[in-house]
A = this chain, B = another copy of it.
């Protein structure tokens, strides 16, 4: 055990003793890299000690701003996140990154594997990157992400960047969990992207047209602004920015926009933001419970209800209420 710990320079495989928690939390709060890695591992795997660890972290939370980066494939999210990391580091800010890889529950692991692309960040003690398998395309963001946010927050990271690869339930979840939602698009992604953006518009605090050096970026910007103008909801219209992540063009303006939204969010108080994340955890757990009940009802209660729905004797909503009641 201890030799593998030294060999890999990574955290032990979870399972610390409860008695070790106070010391671990003190080291996490001091920003000690190895302690953060150990805490993250405990929380990711939801070890026996994890509930007590979360409780011990609780008094040390509330500093970090969580920024979600979502958007359609091909928009250059990863490159833009890297540019944001560099910029934040240039300002002396410490950055935690949670990168969500959709993985197949069937293959059991992330197909992308570890992300080598963040090599520049790997030599920097004030950037901590953790890749996290999602719960598959169907399952969405792992609740572990919310727990890891607490560890990063206690460790004094100023910014926590939550990046999804791909689309689907992950993006929806990231929108729920983040304090600031950045939706990234790019020119030339085709018609389907336009349709998708119309959905993502609902959740955006900031809209970014990346690959701003490509032809058509101005047109994409105008289309987004146009789509926004028919967003009927009250509230503040999100700014639409143009970036070129590869050159860094527009990234200072993005940082500024993130800070502006961050100030607005900070005014809500950190308890309100954390409560929102707790509500999200409960909602996800409730959805899981319902899914379990549906699975358990197959071949039995659920099939009988399904037959009644098929015969037109029962509305699906009435059948659902019955299923939840029993």
Which residues between 135 and 194 of chain A lie within 8 Å of chain B, taking CB atoms?
136-138, 143, 165-169, 171-172, 189-194
Q: Which residues of B contact A302 (CB under 8 A)?
A: 279, 282
State whether A282 touches B311 (Cβ < 8 A): no
Interface residues on A, range: 35 or more
Chain B residue nearest to A165 (CB atoms) is B195
Which residues between 205 and 234 of chain A lie within 8 Å of chain B, taking CB atoms?
227, 230-233
Chain B residue nearest to A146 (CB atoms) is B316
- For residue A120, CB closer than 8 A to chain B, the reply is no
CA distance A168 to B167 in the complex (A): 6
State whether A195 touches B278 (Cβ < 8 A): no
CA distance A109 to B285 in the complex (A): 32
State whether A321 touches B198 (Cβ < 8 A): no
State whether A289 touches B198 (Cβ < 8 A): no
Q: A104-B199, A111-B198, A202-B104 are in contact. Are A303 and B275 (CB under 8 A)?
A: yes
State whether B230 touches A316 (Cβ < 8 A): no
Chain B residue nearest to A276 (CB atoms) is B306
Contact residues of A with B, CB < 8 Å? Answer: 51-52, 54-55, 58, 72-74, 77-78, 101-108, 111-112, 136-138, 143, 165-169, 171-172, 189-196, 198-203, 227, 230-233, 271, 274-275, 278-279, 281-291, 293-294, 298, 302-303, 305-307, 309-313, 315-317, 319-321, 323-324
